[in-house]
Amino acid sequence: MSLKLEIVTSEKNVFSGDVDYVGVKSSDGELGILPQHVPLVTELVEGKVTWRLNNKSQEVNISGGFLEVINNKVTILADKVD
Residue ranges in 1-82 assigned as alpha helix (H)? none
The CATH number linked to 50 is 2.60.15.10
pLDDT tens digits in sequence order for the chain, 82 residues long: 899 999 999 999 999 999 999 999 999 999 999 999 999 999 999 999 999 999 999 999 999 999 999 999 999 999 999 8
pLDDT of residue 1: 84
Domain that holds residue 9: 3-78
The reply to whether the predicted model has a pTM over 0.75 is yes
* Nearest-angstrom CA–CA distance, 53 and 18: 7
Count how many domains the chain has: 1
